[in-house]
Structure 1
Amino acid sequence: MLLLTAETVLTGPDGDRIPGGAVLVDGTTIVATGPRAEIDRHPGAAGAEHRDFPGATILPGLINGHAHLVWDASFAMLQHYFDADDTELLLGVVGRSQQALRAGVTTLRDLGDRRGLVLRVRDAINRGELTGPRLLGSAAPLTPPKGHCWFFGGEVDGIDAIRAQVRHNADLGADVIKVMASGGETTPDSPPTWAQQFSAEELCVVVAEATAAGLPVAAHAHGAQSIADAVAAGVSTIEHCSWLGAENSGPDLREDVAREIGARGIAVCHAYPPDWRGFAEFVGEQRFQAALDRVRWMDQHGVTFLPGTDGGLPTSVFDNYAGALSYYVEAVGWTPGRVVEMATTGAAAALGLDHVGRVAEGFDADLLVVDGDPSADIHALHRQRLVVARGEPVTPETN
């Protein structure tokens, strides 16, 4: 048994807090949470290991909704990927997932790797053979021949190939099916970012086949038409959601589609990196401001947001998720409390996880302890004291 006490417990939903709170953990599960005096009377508290954190806050562990653990976040990440064999990539996945955990990320969704390597690491963590966050993986994303991220091994051509690849990923044990509905920026000689890579009919086949396997679908979609087709097909999340017009003609904001995204509860993962200030300088003020405007516009239409970093891309490191979350406060303008909820309770709901994202009885013991109150100051997330992953205490990177 493990008993954690602190000045405040943030249970998950914005505004829900327990002053002078305590959390009692038995094995991998939270068995009680409440005021310290109340939890002290719990039958399991007397023999528990007690860790007290004066001036600190206990909150749910953070959730990163979009990363690529086979990439090393360097500017040569793609060449390093091509040069590495499976053993090297596997070791990199382990190391970077542990970096993420030490930075407070207790759940991470990986949306593209080679031959399901992330799923192998996930299984080793689940068996207790490795320390790491809860991993969700897609294996190789579906993409047309020489399409965006073709090198992961998910190239498909035609309906039959689409069905076969979805079934193959499901057989590997994928937690989610990823489809590259539009082009992207990181793959040389592939379709441009705004271009459709799959027809509306093909995206419907992806979702139908994934649904038959009991899996959600994450659609990478920058182009407005790809976004509209993904929504109509019934995907669970849309990655990037940039609303680019055809032939790179500028933004194509479609209010009817945005309202449909909100009404259906489809989560949008904007996927901005921890060094968002450096990224803003790199892309330029106009492009950065346009991205902010799109986020605010979608928010006005009731869209649910899932935070993620596209971790593994250049400068999108795994050991500074708190930096990525500061973007939503300092650039977008949301309150710290809303962002903390988005990265915990909200992210868990968006990913269909009903046993994480809250500090409550019966939930998995995925916890983060920080100095200060992150619901008032988002930078408190940098001041980490302890990470707990399924009941196991982990020393944060910052200590």
Structure 2
Amino acid sequence: MQQLITADQVVPGPAGQRIPDGAVLVDGDTITAVGPRAEVEPHADNARRHTAVGGTVLPGLVNAHVHLTWDAGFGMLERYQAADDAELLLGIAGRAQQALRAGVTTLRDLGDRDGLVLRVRDAIDRGDLVGPRLLGSGPPLTPLKGHCWFFGGEVSDTAEIRDRIRGNVALGADVIKVMASGGEMTPESPATWQSQFSAEELALVVREAHAAGLPVAAHAHGTEAIAAAAEAGVDTIEHCSWQGSDDSGPDLRDEVAREIAVRGIVVCHAYPPDWRTFQRVVVGEQRSQAALDRLHWMDKHGVRFVPGTDSGLPTSVFDNYVGALSYYADAVGWSPAHVIDMATSGAASALGLDRVGLLAPGNTADLLAVDGDPLADLTALHRQRLVLARGRAVIPDVAVG
């Protein structure tokens, strides 16, 4: 079935390109034409038509860091541990659909139990469920009782590292996740700044994963863990907080930031949608400013970023990705066009998706129609009128914020 989507402008990406009075023609799950309405419309034979007067059509959004097994409420960890697989599968599907109705057509999940996200991914791919494109890691690698041990990815030596990676490959993982440092939300695990794997072990993770054709995402808060992950050649570093030993404050190392940039390693900052409350209530003014300074410092070194939310953690909801994107415009000071590129073409490239993130003939029909001009005002992304996921039309929820 053909669909013709027209609007006051089409933003095909990247770099804030605009096509005034534009149109996108879709056949099945594939974009067949993008351009001025006058040129595209004659090729629409009996197409279903979607018109966004006063609106903009742009690529669907990509959220590069979520946890679909968690429900974003306080007590989420206890509920996760008490739930059986059937309950978790329903929650994964429901939360993925929440994100889709908010304009997110691709999600990368970085930690679940037994590859449950991958089962939902396969159901969506088969057409059994409507949902966004899902990428999943399965259980992340972590030491015994290390950060997020409850996902089932505990390893204690090199043999178990190899076995866990091969097990995740057998589950159908799209990415291998390793907890290079500790984290805040796992009781009695190493502190966030503490390294959980040696440089040699991280290098082994990268070799094994790359040999299987999979990228590596490294959770790393501590500077020693960040340096080891960069040296090992991971593909993305999650959080990348540059915490010094004993949580003594930032430990910024120019040579490591340069290595991250030169190697093309991408940093996923993973800031929550309600970042203003997070900064005011949880982090505080001093730590919030330090986080902002670190981000500007990495940017000056040429480090590439992709947005993510860590959705699933308390208050980090799945249906307000645009709230998280506003951090980069309102706090960091980047232009809406740059932020949109990060969340579309930039994120798709960083995650190895070659037919996603751009509106171009031959690409997958993942797109978003909104009221207004998001290149001038990022909040226009809240005003969704239409979401297409692989050509399937989805009715957006009531706009957030």
TM-score normalized with structure 1 length: 0.99
Matches within 5 A, 1:367-378: 367-378=367-378
Matches within 5 A, 1:319-398: 319-398=319-398
Q: Deviations over 1:190-223 (max 9, x none)?
A: 0000000000000000000001110000000000
Cα offset for 1:15? 2.3
Q: Deviations over 1:203-254 (max 9, x none)?
A: 0000000011100000000000100100110100000000000111110101
Q: Supply the distance in 2 between the matched residues of 1:279 and 1:383 (Cα, whole angstroms).
A: 24
User: Could you say what secondary structure the match of 1:191 adopts?
Assistant: coil
Cα offset for 1:178? 0.1
In structure 1, what is the equivalent of residue 75 of structure 2?
76
Q: Deviations over 1:272-306 (max 9, x none)?
A: 00000010012111111111111111001000001
In structure 2, what is the equivalent of residue 106 of structure 1?
105
Cα offset for 1:20? 0.6
Matches within 5 A, 1:9-28: 9-28=10-29
1:180 lines up with 2:167 in the alignment: no
In structure 2, what is the equivalent of residue 315 of structure 1?
315
Q: Supply the distance in 2 between the matched residues of 1:35 and 1:26 (Cα, whole angstroms).
A: 18
In structure 1, what is the equivalent of residue 293 of structure 2?
293
The one-letter amino acid of 1:350's match is: A
Cα offset for 1:36? 0.3
Unaligned runs of 5+ in 1: none
The one-letter amino acid of 1:151's match is: F
User: Could you say what secondary structure the match of 2:381 adopts?
Assistant: helix
Query: Among the aligned pairs, what percent are the same residue?
Result: 70
In structure 1, what is the equivalent of residue 225 of structure 2?
226
Aligned pair count?
397
In structure 2, what is the equivalent of residue 160 of structure 1?
159
Q: Supply the distance in 2 between the matched residues of 1:78 and 1:41 (Cα, whole angstroms).
A: 54
1:211 lines up with 2:175 in the alignment: no
In structure 2, what is the equivalent of residue 90 of structure 1?
89
Q: Supply the distance in 2 between the matched residues of 1:15 and 1:189 (Cα, whole angstroms).
A: 46
Q: Supply the distance in 2 between the matched residues of 1:20 and 1:342 (Cα, whole angstroms).
A: 24
Cα offset for 1:265? 1.3
The one-letter amino acid of 2:95's match is: R
The one-letter amino acid of 2:125's match is: N
In structure 2, what is the equivalent of residue 120 of structure 1?
119
Q: Supply the distance in 1 between the matched residues of 2:178 and 2:13 (Cα, whole angstroms).
A: 31
* Aligned-residue RMSD, C-alpha: 0.7
Q: Supply the distance in 1 between the matched residues of 2:92 and 2:110 (Cα, whole angstroms).
A: 13
The one-letter amino acid of 2:56's match is: T
Q: Supply the distance in 1 between the matched residues of 2:242 and 2:10 (Cα, whole angstroms).
A: 39
User: Could you say what secondary structure the match of 2:63 adopts?
Assistant: strand
User: Could you say what secondary structure the match of 1:193 adopts?
Assistant: coil
Unaligned runs of 5+ in 2: none
User: Could you say what secondary structure the match of 1:41 adopts?
Assistant: helix
The one-letter amino acid of 2:369's match is: V
In structure 2, what is the equivalent of residue 306 of structure 1?
306
Q: Supply the distance in 2 between the matched residues of 1:301 and 1:371 (Cα, whole angstroms).
A: 36
